Amino acid sequence: MPGKLVTYVEVLVDVPSASHPYTYLVPAHLEPFVEPGVAVRVPFGSRPSVGGFVVEVGVPAPEARARPVVSVSPGKLLPPAMERLLDWISEHYLASRYQVYQAAVPAGLLAGDEPVRMQLHVDRLADRTPEGLTARQREVLAVLARQGQSMRAVDLEREARTTRTVLAALATAGAIRLERRAVRRTPVRHATEQPLCDLTPEQAAAVRVIQAGSAGAVFLLHGVTGSGKTEVYLRAISSALSQGKGAIVLVPEISLTPQAIARFAGRFGDRVAVLHSGLSDGERFDEWSRVRSGHADVVVGARSAIFAPVPTLGLIIVDEEHDGAYKQESTPRYHARAVALKRAALEGAKVVLGSATPSLESYHAARQGRFHLLELEHRVAGLPMPEVIRVDMRKEASDGNHGLFSRALRSALDQVLEAGEQAILLLNRRGYAPVVLCRSCGQAIVCPTCQVCLTYHRAREALVCHYCDYSRSAGPSCDACGGPVTRYVGAGTQKVVEALASLLPTARVLRLDRDATARKDSHHQILDAFARGDADVLVGTQMVAKGLDFPRVSLVGVLNADAALRLPDFRAAERTFQLVTQVAGRAGRAGPGRVIVQTFAPDHPAIALAAAHDYRTFAAQELDGRRPLGYPPYRRVVRIVVAAEHEDRALAVAARLQAALKDAGTLLGPVAAPLAFVSGQHRVHLLALTMDIRTTIAKTREAVLGNGDRNVKVIVDVDPLTVL
């Protein structure tokens, strides 16, 4: 056919080892059906056909001969608006479409054929019991009758102690029907049905404003801890559903507890689909399918649930919108809140961002009138905010108390135990001791590839690097001098638990941190045990600050509130304010509550204003501090990290990037990153602060493509959350 253009397409193949899309030839007869987003089957290696997914059409002919696409499945994987969203992510966060699709679409779906699991079912044909059945066969029928005349073949075989052959004979005799059915692998969950409560006046006002909002409107729901933000979400969802539209609720992974899911399932039942990292591929696929087909129109999930293919989306809720977990720290480095805003704009959905401590980006947008600010200033049921007491640890030390617990915290713990109430203690550092010194030569023991101090983990008798997970035995000798004894300096959560055991021998203590929750489900088990009252004190890292709603907790202790305050990161104060406010909010959710904040900097605004429950003043001061420096939210940041084994190589590439980016905004650096050496690589970074993010991104893309040094890794982080 003269003049006919041969089309080449890029295909993501469903082969785990395939790290990039492959180019295929589209035979003329398939050309009309091929467009981005369709599923195809293609040959791969020695396999005649594997599933795949077209990401790009009309690409240049490859150097080697391309093999032809075998077949095309009708119907696209994603609705068109979602494709535009994924294209935007690929553009904005400098990731390939392949990487974006991989992040957005559940594994298995890219295969192009749907991995539905089929199972054999047995149904009794009740109207006729044929003559001449054996006693054994009649017994099987009796078991089936007891189970309601219908069950899975495997279950019947087990319970009636029979075999597939016997079932087949029964089917031939016309007593039962055997049929293969698709199995729905929906994760088990509980539903807590709560009677509809009367909204507080503040909740009611917020719900009214959201309901009246126009398509695409964004609301920032700033509600103090315990103000009943979830109930506002539930009502807003109801009203979206009543208009025939679906909703997505994002929560940080860690707060996606069975209790939280139960509240949504209790209100919306089977219409709820749950998406999180703990699902099997099959479960995730089935939940995804229920969403795509419209059977489930309320999606509750962690970060990647923002990609749930809700056909008609009316509402997106981002709970705890300030939470850093919404940012993916690997390519594509997207922020789920930013993606939510983009998606809502593309699909005409409303957005509700909720938090007791909104990010300064969102708060600034609200002050500028881009978001509608809704405030819940009071806790529900007339409960007061907890009383917050700051304890100056410099004073404790000068009075001779060098322990982990101030006198105030010790006596408060005594009172809690006496009263049979519960306490939460926060120390944002896991392990036993963060610094290990040699007693002979005084050297700190550091990670060989990151050069940061190793943390002593007593349970494993190991020294662990918290950056790269390197670990070695906590053997008795020092690397430097071979000296015999080591000294442990500072404290982590494990040491807190140990100290509690000697301080309060009768207290039952649970620990919640990344080490304690390494096993699947252990996070939920610990929280369930604490909720049941199996423990008096819960000790943990920032995990204990997130969304927990335990009515018997009357005391919260923050052991070292300044831990994160001195980090060389412009968000250090904001994070500290959020952490102290959020953990304080766990106290007194059903009665009086008290918070004791131990600090060496009691007058630092992040601590003093968190203690005063004064978000507004903190935000205003912090914004005033950032404006002259041009930090976000006043300008946007693109961070470029250059990492290499040899520092001079990293510096050379960074210098080239700096030259290429000189018109792309205000450049800071290149300088060594605060974490200058991780996993054996020197890290140099460069920040571009800009008012024109699109131009900066375009220039960055160009500059980065020009990095020819294969031994140097260049990571671009658009709107980074951390600059360490």
Residues engaged in binding Zn ion (CB under 5 A): 447, 449-450, 465, 467-468, 470
Within residues 162-221, the interface with ligand ADP by CB under 6 A covers 197-200, 203
Tokens of 429: 């550092």
* Rounded Cα gap, residues 139 and 612, in angstroms: 72
Tokens of 181: 């059915």
Check binding of 226 to ligand ADP (CB under 6 A): yes
Judged by beta carbon distances under 5 to 8 A according to partner kind, the member of Zn ion, ligand ADP, none in contact with residue 312 is none
Check binding of 696 to ligand ADP (CB under 6 A): no
Judged by beta carbon distances under 5 to 8 A according to partner kind, the member of Zn ion, ligand ADP, none in contact with residue 581 is none
Alpha carbons within 13 angstroms on the beta-carbon side of residue 714 total: 27
Judged by beta carbon distances under 5 to 8 A according to partner kind, the member of ligand ADP, Zn ion, none in contact with residue 22 is none
Judged by beta carbon distances under 5 to 8 A according to partner kind, the member of ligand ADP, Zn ion, none in contact with residue 287 is none
* 41, 557, 559 from 511: Cα distances, Å: 50, 14, 14
Q: Which of 92, 121, 124, 229 binds ligand ADP (CB under 6 A)?
A: 229
Q: Which of 7, 227, 357, 700 binds ligand ADP (CB under 6 A)?
A: 227
Torsion over CA: 541, 543, 549, 552 (sign): negative
Least gap, CB of 364 to ligand ADP (angstroms): 22
Q: How many CB atoms lie within 10 A of CB 387?
A: 14
Q: Which of 380, 509, 531, 620 binds ligand ADP (CB under 6 A)?
A: 380
Least gap, CB of 105 to ligand ADP (angstroms): 31
Least gap, CB of 254 to ligand ADP (angstroms): 15
Q: How many CB atoms lie within 10 A of CB 584?
A: 28
Within residues 526-555, the interface with ligand ADP by CB under 6 A covers 549
Contact status, residue 277 vs residue 253, Cβ threshold 8 Å: yes
Least gap, CB of 595 to ligand ADP (angstroms): 15
Residue number with CB closer to ligand ADP (174 or 592): 592
Least gap, CB of 568 to Zn ion (angstroms): 19
Residue number with CB closer to ligand ADP (229 or 292): 229
Backbone angles phi, psi at 189, to 5 degrees: -155, 160
Check binding of 323 to ligand ADP (CB under 6 A): no
Least gap, CB of 250 to ligand ADP (angstroms): 14
Residue number with CB closer to ligand ADP (321 or 719): 321
Q: How many residues bind ligand ADP (CB under 6 A)?
A: 16
* 359, 586, 622 from 619: Cα distances, Å: 9, 22, 5
Check binding of 230 to ligand ADP (CB under 6 A): yes
Backbone angles phi, psi at 492, to 5 degrees: -120, 180
* Rounded Cα gap, residues 328 and 705, in angstroms: 22
Residue number with CB closer to Zn ion (455 or 554): 455
Least gap, CB of 239 to ligand ADP (angstroms): 17
Residues in the chain: 724
Contact status, residue 504 vs residue 414, Cβ threshold 8 Å: yes
Least gap, CB of 374 to Zn ion (angstroms): 44
Check binding of 375 to ligand ADP (CB under 6 A): no
* Rounded Cα gap, residues 192 and 173, in angstroms: 46
Judged by beta carbon distances under 5 to 8 A according to partner kind, the member of ligand ADP, Zn ion, none in contact with residue 200 is ligand ADP
Least gap, CB of 572 to ligand ADP (angstroms): 25
Alpha carbons within 13 angstroms on the beta-carbon side of residue 658 total: 16
Residue number with CB closer to Zn ion (466 or 546): 466
* 18, 117, 189 from 284: Cα distances, Å: 22, 13, 14
Residue number with CB closer to Zn ion (33 or 470): 470
Q: Which of 196, 381, 459, 480 binds ligand ADP (CB under 6 A)?
A: 381
Least gap, CB of 435 to Zn ion (angstroms): 15
Residue number with CB closer to Zn ion (448 or 592): 448
Residue number with CB closer to ligand ADP (381 or 629): 381
Judged by beta carbon distances under 5 to 8 A according to partner kind, the member of ligand ADP, Zn ion, none in contact with residue 549 is ligand ADP
Least gap, CB of 232 to ligand ADP (angstroms): 8
Least gap, CB of 310 to ligand ADP (angstroms): 23
Backbone angles phi, psi at 408, to 5 degrees: -60, -40
Q: Which of 223, 252, 332, 593 binds ligand ADP (CB under 6 A)?
A: 223
Strand, coil or helix: 188:
coil
Judged by beta carbon distances under 5 to 8 A according to partner kind, the member of Zn ion, ligand ADP, none in contact with residue 230 is ligand ADP
Strands (E), 21-157: 22-26, 38-44, 47-57, 71-76, 118-124, 150-152
Strand 246-250 to 298-301 pairing: parallel
* Rounded Cα gap, residues 671 and 76, in angstroms: 46
Least gap, CB of 223 to ligand ADP (angstroms): 5
Our CA dihedral for 76, 79, 81, 87, rounded to 10 degrees, sits at: -40
Judged by beta carbon distances under 5 to 8 A according to partner kind, the member of Zn ion, ligand ADP, none in contact with residue 215 is none
* 438, 475, 490 from 483: Cα distances, Å: 7, 11, 21
Scored b (16 or more CB within 10 A) or e, 119-136 reads: eebbebeeeeeeeebeee
Contact status, residue 596 vs residue 406, Cβ threshold 8 Å: yes
Judged by beta carbon distances under 5 to 8 A according to partner kind, the member of ligand ADP, Zn ion, none in contact with residue 227 is ligand ADP
- Applying CB under 6 A, the residues found at the interface with ligand ADP are 197-200, 203, 223, 225-231, 380-381, 549
